[in-house]
Structure 1
Amino acid sequence: MSTAPKPRHIGRNISRIRELRDMKQEALAIAIGTTQQSISIIEGSESVDDEKLKAIAEALGVPADVIKNFSEEAVFNIIGNTIDIENNNGSSVISYGCTFNPFDKLLEATEQNTKLYERLLQAEKDKVVFLEKLLSEKK
């Protein structure tokens, strides 16, 4: 029996963090500029090159080291130690302490929507230019 530690499966770690972030493969793919199929392949890989790992970590909002050293046991330990808190009379109270400012998240979402709208508008403008070019070539 070998006592050497098992190598970390980076792809599985990416998958679990993505799922904990409630993000679909397609959303992650768009965030790093690739396809959903590529994300599926990456999540099935035991190792990922550092450049891709850095891009994925940025898209997931975590440092690359968190992905490399991710441990589900640690996550469940943190959840178990922070969610169920007893109040003064001994009964349990579930605490969902907000670790971010909701207004910042709303502002961030608004900015993302604005960027998406601008990209969509530019795509439509490009389409109109292309169609006008086709029409002028037919004349």
Structure 2
Amino acid sequence: MSTLSKPSHIGRKISRIRELRDMKQEVLAQALGTNQQAISILENSETIDDEKLNSIAKALGVSVEAIKNFSEESVINYFNTFTDQSAGTFNNNCTFNPLDKLIEAYEENKKLYERLIQAEKDKVEYLEKILKDK
């Protein structure tokens, strides 16, 4: 049995990164100043020269190292870091007492109603004054 590792297929990595960035071959081709067929050939290549790889990395918005070190497993691990391990539970770390806020809101409503009642009383008083003057 051979213990040699399979060579890294750089074209497949470019293809996968492009797909993950939701970019079509045509868009990448346009960014590189070439055509879609050239991108297809490039993505089927096992090796790519460093100058071309640098321009591809720039067009994809990643580093050359990101392309060279790309693996499906690392992408899955990366996205798994965003999953919430406490799904279904709520993290209630209030920096205030909710009951105090409720009482404040109640008191504010009470003040507003008192102002409304006073405004109505003033209006009635004004209307009565107008009626007496006639």
Q: Name the TM-score, length of structure 2 as normaliser.
A: 0.63
Gap runs ≥5 in structure 1: 92-139
Q: Identify the residue that residue 50 of structure 2 maps to in structure 1.
A: 50
The offset of 1:87, in angstroms, is: 5.5
Matching residue's letter, 2:16: R
The offset of 1:81, in angstroms, is: 2.4
| 4+ long deviations beyond 4 Å | none
Q: Identify the residue that residue 113 of structure 1 maps to in structure 2.
A: none
Give the direction of change, closer, same or farther, for the CA distance of 1:88–1:36 in structure 2 (3 Å limit): closer
Distance 1:59 1:35 in 2: 14
The offset of 1:86, in angstroms, is: 1.8
Distance 1:83 1:89 in 2: 13
Q: Identify the residue that residue 23 of structure 1 maps to in structure 2.
A: 23
Q: Identify the residue that residue 99 of structure 2 maps to in structure 1.
A: none
Map 1:54-133 → 2, pairs under 5 A: 54-86=54-86, 89=89
The alignment partner of 1:84 has SS state of: coil
Larger Rg: 2
Identity between Structure 1 and Structure 2 (%): 62
The offset of 1:85, in angstroms, is: 3.8
The alignment partner of 2:8 has SS state of: coil
Instruction: Calculate the aligned-residue CA RMSD, in Å.
Output: 1.9
Q: Identify the residue that residue 37 of structure 1 maps to in structure 2.
A: 37
Distance 2:73 2:87 in 1: 26
The offset of 1:2, in angstroms, is: 1.4
Q: Identify the residue that residue 3 of structure 1 maps to in structure 2.
A: 3
The offset of 1:80, in angstroms, is: 1.7
The alignment partner of 2:81 has SS state of: helix
Which one has the bigger strand percentage? Answer: 1
Q: Name the TM-score, length of structure 1 as normaliser.
A: 0.61
Q: Deviations over 1:55-114 (max 9, x none)?
A: 0000000001111111110101111222334268279xxxxxxxxxxxxxxxxxxxxxxx
Distance 2:84 2:6 in 1: 32
Gap runs ≥5 in structure 2: 92-134
Distance 2:43 2:84 in 1: 32
Q: Deviations over 1:29-55 (max 9, x none)?
A: 000111100000000000011111100
